[in-house]
């Protein structure tokens, strides 16, 4: 199905994200076990697995919302170490979309999109606003720019959150269950926004249970269980014939 969304994966450049032997513990609980994963520029990855399997922890480690205990993590060529100084600079190029949107409630949608470009990237206000309107149009909520987050529906809020991230012009976008908190009728509009983004060649890592989305846009599906990457496969192969018994059981559960 990936043929429906042709794009270029650049495997010659160094990977955008490179994880080698990443481990993490919460107390005695082993949250990530020996994670090895490279994400090439332009690649779209979907992470799935039962809850508590470590998939959210994995993508939250990439921008160090969670720190890793051991292993090597490189993002855009820069090695990330717990407590490092230049973390803010690395994060500027890593967009993140949260399950609960986390829009800034005291700012308008437009201000949500301009606050970081203006204060972090030092983009002039006029230019930042033009860029914000461009992305808000792309996610089809330009007419909501002057409203506050609480005045928008869940789907609109999530699209606003996506455009807020895009305004920083990131090199990779991380999505942490972006549709899990949405009413069913709003899931589609957010997924379509994400598919559009994938079509434009954005490097994406998406934690989601939306297997239709995975089938349509993923280059690789990663199945995690108990903090471990159990299976990495192209979506067609993964959905038709999962090798791991745990993956098979998981797919059976969520497909019904």
In the complex with other proteins, the residue whose CB is nearer, 180 or 241, is 180
Does 65 participate in binding other proteins (rule CB under 8 A)? yes
Of the listed pieces 3-11, 48-56, 84-92, 135-143, which binds other proteins according to CB under 8 A?
84-92
| Residues 75, 60 contacting (CB under 8 angstroms) | no
Does 180 participate in binding other proteins (rule CB under 8 A)? no
Spatial separation of the C-alpha atoms in residues 219 and 216, rounded to whole Å: 9
Q: How far is the CB of 71 from other proteins (least distance, A)?
A: 21
In the complex with other proteins, the residue whose CB is nearer, 180 or 252, is 180
- Exactly one of 6, 51, 83, 88 binds other proteins (CB under 8 A); that residue is 88
Report the candidate in 41, 93, 91 with the shortest Cα–Cα distance to residue 201. Answer: 41
Spatial separation of the C-alpha atoms in residues 226 and 235, rounded to whole Å: 21
Q: Which two tokens stand for residue 57?
A: 């922890």
Question: Which residues touch 99 (CB under 8 Å, ≥6 apart)?
Answer: 176, 177, 178, 180, 181
Which residues pair with residue 18 across a beta bridge?
A: 38, 74
Does 164 participate in binding other proteins (rule CB under 8 A)? yes
**How many residues of this chain interact with other proteins, rule: CB under 8 A?**
26
- Exactly one of 120, 232, 237, 254 binds other proteins (CB under 8 A); that residue is 120
Does 220 participate in binding other proteins (rule CB under 8 A)? no
In the complex with other proteins, the residue whose CB is nearer, 175 or 223, is 175
Phi-psi region of 169 (alpha: psi -120 to 50; beta: other; left: phi over 0): left
Does 106 participate in binding other proteins (rule CB under 8 A)? yes
Q: How far is the CB of 106 from other proteins (least distance, A)?
A: 5
């Amino acid at each position: 199905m990936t043929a429906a969304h042709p794009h270029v994966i650049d495997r010659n450049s160094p990977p955008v994200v490179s994880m080698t032997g990443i481990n993490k513990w919460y107390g005695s609980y082993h949250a990530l076990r020996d994670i090895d994963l490279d994400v090439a520029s332009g690649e779209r990855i979907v992470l799935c697995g039962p809850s508590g399997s470590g998939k959210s922890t994995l993508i939250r480690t990439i921008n160090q919302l969670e720190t890793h205990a051991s292993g090597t993590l490189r993002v855009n060529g820069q090695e990330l170490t717990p407590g490092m100084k230049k973390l803010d600079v690395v994060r500027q190029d890593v967009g993140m979309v949260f399950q609960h949107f986390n829009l800034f409630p005291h700012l308008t949608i437009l201000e949500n999109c301009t606050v970081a470009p203006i204060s972090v990237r030092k983009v002039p206000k006029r230019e930042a606003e033009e860029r914000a309107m461009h992305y808000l149009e792309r996610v089809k909520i330009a007419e909501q720019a002057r409203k506050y987050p609480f005045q928008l529906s869940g789907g609109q809020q999530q699209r606003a959150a996506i455009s807020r991230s895009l305004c920083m012009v990131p090199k990779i976008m991380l999505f942490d269950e972006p549709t899990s908190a949405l009413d069913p009728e709003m899931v589609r509009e957010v997924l379509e926004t994400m598919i559009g983004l994938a079509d434009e060649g954005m490097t994406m890592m998406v934690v989601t249970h939306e297997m239709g989305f995975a089938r349509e846009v993923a280059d690789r599906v990663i199945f995690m269980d108990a903090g471990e990457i159990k299976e990495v496969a192209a979506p067609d192969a993964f959905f038709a014939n999962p090798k791991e018994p745990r993956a098979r059981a998981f797919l059976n559960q969520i497909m019904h």
